[in-house]
Amino acid sequence: MKFVIAAGGTGGHVYPALSVARALAPHAVVFVGTRQGPEAEIVPQAGFSLRTIPARKLDRRLGPGALWSLAVSAGGVVSAVRLLRAERAQAVLGTGGYAAAPVVFAAWLLRLPVAILEGDAHPGRANRLLGRLARRVFLATAAAQAHFPAGCTVVTGLPIRLEIARGDGVGFRRLHGLDPARRLLFLFGGSRGAQRLNTALIDALPALAAAGIQIVHQTGKENYESVRGQIAPGEEWPAGYVPVPYVEDMAGALAAADLVVCRAGSSTLAEVTAAGKPAILVPYPYAVGDHQTHNARALVDAGAAVLVPDRELDGARLASEVGALLADGERRTRMAAASLALGRPDAAARVAVELVQIAGK
């Protein structure tokens, strides 16, 4: 069988798609995206073929033609129809990005089996509309079911890299010179970092260091030098504080951590829960539809996380929340168990099985 996966725009759309593509082996997979998105680099590096179509940002104005305007993206539908005919795919999966809507719409026009993957607890308008065309809607959380037609949703979890649940925490601590007996906080804001989190942590450093807390701080590649610049000449970072632009071994970092502080994007939370880590979540306040807050609340309601609104985060609040959790081992144990219960490390395999089923019908 051959499958087409339409994904792009952000790594949060591309990486889950790659996990599904790997799980579909030995079936053939072709990706569709745009030339300007991160998929143009990420997909070929992962060893998969990428076809590109013209696509642009969705016109978000409401109206009776919303579904059509969603699909018609700078000739993307016409290009997608031609591409799907040429590739002779048996089914199409859309995971998000500008190219997903034209490809999903084209597949529907060609009467090919269509599925979409929704990672957020509160789906965006695009996927809510595309869900009407899909035979399957794969969901990261049951909280999103109410937004799609009854009977087509399957709660699979969000596909992640299998290695995330198998990290070597001992090796990670050893590599970074961290004490295996001391508590470790892992703070990150994604590959680009999060300025609010960075600033709050720098302000909280004296209090956290005084409490004997070790910290791995992923600053983001663009923010690393500005974080380094906040130390006075001649001074050194507190012992046990490790600032890095980007953590290559995310599985190891999560395995090593006693507590995580991060944003609440769907891919981030899928990895945190697969690793079974308690978390302090600071949702990005400008996410479309405030979907990160909805994502975070799903973990809070399950007892796996604490939510701190972005506007309330400063050094004092961060030091207080982190200190309280790292001082309460029993509470962290309960949160870790709740987090692990939410994790779905087999999500990619479950999505792949469903795709093969709809392709064979």
What CATH number labels 2-159+346-359? 3.40.50.2000
Q: What is the pLDDT of residues 231-270, one digit of tens each?
A: 765 567 888 999 999 999 999 999 999 999 999 999 999 9
C-alpha span between 92 and 84 (Å, rounded) = 9
C-alpha span between 340 and 279 (Å, rounded) = 12
C-alpha span between 295 and 154 (Å, rounded) = 18
Q: Which residue has the tokens 């300025």?
A: 195
Q: Is the pLDDT of residue 68 over 70?
A: no
C-alpha span between 236 and 234 (Å, rounded) = 7
Q: What is the pLDDT of residues 293-345, one digit of tens each?
A: 999 999 999 999 999 999 999 999 999 999 999 999 999 999 999 999 999 99
Q: What is the pLDDT of residues 275-302, one digit of tens each?
A: 999 999 999 999 888 999 999 999 999 9
C-alpha span between 46 and 129 (Å, rounded) = 30
CATH superfamily of this structure's domain 163-342: Glycogen Phosphorylase B; (3.40.50.2000)
Structural domain spans, the chain: 2-159+346-359, 163-342
**Count of beta carbons in the 10 Å neighbourhood of residue 101:** 29
Q: Is the pLDDT of residue 56 over 80?
A: no
| Termini Cα distance of the chain | 12
Share above pLDDT 90 across residues of the chain, in percent, rounded to a whole number: 74
Domain 2-159+346-359 and domain 163-342 have a common topology:
yes
